[in-house]
């Protein structure tokens, strides 16, 4: 495992949907339903501030371990209830591209968070978030996390249906428990945004 530079790797909604769909199909042998894809996209969007804070292609803010490499940067997390803003120097997993990152992401859900995976397959955000909480995926209060996922789920449901007028959901009333990591030192590399879809 090698330490690499912390580089922001944002992507568009279309890139997110295509990469997640590709990874899901590679794992299962069939394409995801729009309901399933909307929940998975919603989760990534919530965790990465609508992909603006995605670093080194890490779609779920996975700490150092599951990725082939890792990066280190100062950031903050909100922990506890009520949430307390805590600044940390954290190590996060890093991937070389979106395909490898999302292949891991989809595979990890199917193996390590089976209740959440079942919820995603059913298009059930409540079951998805409850399954994640039960296995310690997030520390935010469950109802706040669920509200965030549901708002992004509604957004992606509209987006996947072809509604070009859909607007980004407002999460401001959910308070500081929105779990997106906002790295203070990561740089942006637009040249890294290309997604090699199909082999």
Q: Is residue 181 part of a domain?
A: yes
Q: Give the contacts of 24 (CB within 8 A, at least 6 positions apart).
A: 31, 32, 36, 37, 40, 106
Q: Is residue 6 part of a domain?
A: yes
Q: Where are the beta strands (DSSP E) in the chain?
A: 2-3, 7-8, 69-79, 84-94, 187-188
- Residue 71: closest CA among 196, 192, 183, 191: 183
Q: What is the mean pLDDT of residues 58-66?
A: 85
Structural domain of 8:
2-192
pLDDT of residue 139: 76
Q: Is residue 199 part of a domain?
A: no
**Can you give the pTM of this predicted structure?**
0.85
Q: Is residue 27 part of a domain?
A: yes
Calpha distance 62→59 (Å, rounded): 8
How many domains would you assign to the chain?
A: 1
93-144 per-position pLDDT tens digit? 999 999 999 999 999 989 999 999 999 999 999 999 999 999 988 877 889 8
Q: Is residue 197 part of a domain?
A: no
Residue 71 has pLDDT above 70, yes or no: yes
Residue 185 has pLDDT above 70, yes or no: no
Q: Is residue 137 part of a domain?
A: yes
Q: Is residue 86 part of a domain?
A: yes
Confidence of residue 191 (pLDDT cuts 50, 70, 90): very low
Dihedral over Cα of 110, 115, 118, 122: its sign: negative
pLDDT of residue 182: 55
Phi and psi based region of residue 104 (left: phi greater than 0; alpha: psi -120 to 50; beta: remaining): alpha
Confidence of residue 183 (pLDDT cuts 50, 70, 90): low
Q: Is residue 132 part of a domain?
A: yes
- Residue 131: closest CA among 157, 108, 154, 156: 108
Tell me the percentage of the chain whose pLDDT exceeds 90: 57
Average pLDDT, the chain: 85
């Amino acid at each position: 495992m090698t330490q690499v530079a912390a580089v922001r790797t944002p992507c568009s909604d279309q890139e997110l949907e295509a990469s997640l769909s590709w990874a899901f199909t590679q794992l299962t042998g069939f394409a995801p339903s729009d309901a399933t894809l909307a929940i998975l996209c919603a989760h990534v969007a919530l965790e990465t501030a609508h992909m603006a804070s995605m670093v080194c292609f890490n779609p779920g803010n996975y700490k150092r371990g599951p990725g082939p490499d890792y990066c280190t940067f100062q950031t903050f997390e909100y922990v506890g209830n009520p949430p307390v803003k805590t600044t940390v120097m954290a190590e996060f997993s890093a991937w070389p591209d979106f395909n490898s990152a999302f292949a891991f992401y989809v595979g990890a859900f199917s193996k390590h968070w089976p209740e959440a995976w079942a919820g995603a397959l059913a298009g059930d955000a409540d079951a998805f978030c409850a399954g994640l909480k039960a296995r310690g995926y997030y520390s935010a209060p469950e109802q706040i996390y669920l509200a965030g996922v549901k708002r992004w789920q509604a957004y992606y449901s509209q987006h996947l249906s072809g509604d070009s007028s859909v607007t980004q959901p407002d999460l401001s009333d959910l308070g500081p428990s929105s779990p997106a990591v906002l790295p203070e030192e990561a740089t942006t590399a637009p040249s890294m945004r290309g997604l090699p879809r199909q082999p």
